[in-house]
Amino acid sequence: MRIITARRVLVGAGLDTLENGGVVIDGDRVVWVGPASELPGEFAGGDVTALGDVTVLPGLIDAHVHLGFDGGPNPVDRMMAENDARQVATMLRSARELLSCGVTTARDLGSRDLLGVAVRDAILDGTADGPRMLVAGPAITVTGGHCWFMNGEVDSPEDMRRMVRTLHKGTVDCFKVMSTGGNMTSGSAPWHAQFPQDDLAIAVDEAHRLGKTIAAHAHGVEGIRRALAAGVDTIEHCSFQTEDGSDGYDEELGAQIAASATAVSPTCSARMKDFMRLLPGRRWALGDLYRAGATIIASTDSGIDHNPHWAFVSALESMVAAGMTPRDVLLSATSVSARVLGIDDAAGRIDAGLAADLIAVHGDPRDDIAALHDLRFVMARGAEFTPDPVPVFAPLDPDDLPDMLVRMIEAQESAHAKSEPEPVEVG
């Protein structure tokens, strides 16, 4: 039996303040939460860890990661070059990086074949350190479509149904379908829809019949609209990306998303701060969707180019920069994500009967999300973990910008040039 005490403990789904709180842990579960002064006598002999003037809160949740991508400049090239053994090594390192910044649960939405299942199980049985993993296996895409190299290609309704059933047989936790193309696959256009709505609906029906959730990668408006109509559980990115790089936000569609049971997983990465700096004045869909009242969960797409797994807290800062309050960002990274992902009976809050996933930081992240950088304590499923040192997250090198960002900057400059009035000759 272990007892954790602290100046503040954030409890329940609303992250309410418990002053001078105590948390009793038995094995991998929380068995009691309350004022430390009211600790029941039955727990009096427990091993006490007094953390002092810190805030204890639930372990964080990143709802969209790619363990098989390394977060460097060329993650796709590396994934395609590595054999399965090397891929698993990369994935285990990525998992440890997530845990080192306080992420105790993560959803992997695209890895090669069923390697994610092997990594998930190695973490669960204690072979390796990492967050609780919810894995989708390979993203379901069209032949030659976005992330085809993960081996989830389908081209007919029958293929779609068979792929969902095959992945279920492989014990995935959830599914992911590519409703549009993406930015990281050569020959793929993120503004184009990849699947008919009926095919997406087949995937949703199969997933829900099996009692599992399904996420849809969707950048362009038509792909977003089809995914929403098909009834997916989460729309990943939901960026309203257009071919010319202009703002494509559709207010009517945003309102429909807000009124639906579908949550937005915006993959607001740590790099979003660079995007905002280099694209001043640009409108970002996350802020619009938040103001419209959409359900938003914290997600980063960590692992993609220039987006390391250890930068999760910087990604949460980007969500604040996009217009969300620190408190709502923190909720999106804890209880809201747990509810949307269907694991609120195990994670997302500190409560008796739930997993002992705890972190402690100096300060109160409900007021200043940056407090999460000052990580003092990490516990995942009852096991204390000493975080590895996390590097300083540096701004992008102006001479080494991601191709997608270069295209967006060029499009903005072109649009600005077109809007400038023609010079008038005098004389």
Residues linked to residue 35 through DSSP beta bridges, in sequence order: 21
pLDDT of residue 422: 60
d(CA 3, CA 52): 13
Is the four-CA dihedral 250, 253, 258, 262 of positive or negative sign?
negative
Decide if pLDDT at 236 tops 90. Answer: yes
Residue 200 token pair:
């997406």
Specify whether the CB–CB gap between 160 and 123 falls below 8 A.
no
d(CA 321, CA 344): 27
Decide if pLDDT at 426 tops 80. Answer: no
Decide if pLDDT at 419 tops 70. Answer: no
Q: In 10 A of CB 80, how many CB atoms? A: 12
d(CA 94, CA 70): 7
Strands 103-108 and 132-135, bridge-based pairing: parallel
Q: By mean pLDDT, which of 7-16, 201-210, 244-253, 314-323 is the weakest?
A: 244-253
Q: How many CA atoms lie within 13 A of 273 on its CB side?
A: 17
Looking at the chain, the whole-number percentage of residues with pLDDT higher than 70 is 96
pLDDT of residue 406: 76
Strands 47-50 and 132-135, bridge-based pairing: unpaired
118 Cβ contact partners less than 8 Å away, ≥ 6 residues apart: 88
Q: What is the pLDDT averaged over residues 203-209?
A: 98
pLDDT of residue 427: 44
- The dotted CATH code for 60-341 is 3.20.20.140
pTM of the predicted model, to two decimals?
Answer: 0.95
Specify whether the CB–CB gap between 43 and 24 falls below 8 A.
yes
**Domain 2-58+353-384, second-level architecture:** Roll (2.30)
d(CA 401, CA 225): 30
Specify whether the CB–CB gap between 257 and 289 falls below 8 A.
yes
pLDDT of residue 397: 79
Helix, strand, or coil here: 48?
A: strand
| Site of tokens 């694209």 | 279
Domain ranges of the chain: 2-58+353-384, 60-341
d(CA 129, CA 95): 7
335 Cβ contact partners less than 8 Å away, ≥ 6 residues apart: 12, 13, 14, 15, 58, 344, 348, 349
Decide if pLDDT at 60 tops 60. Answer: yes
**What average pLDDT does the structure give for the chain?**
95
d(CA 126, CA 301): 25
Residue 313 token pair:
């807290």
Looking at the chain, the whole-number percentage of residues with pLDDT higher than 90 is 88
d(CA 379, CA 3): 12
Per-residue pLDDT tens over the stretch 371-412:
999 999 999 999 999 999 999 888 887 777 777 777 777 766
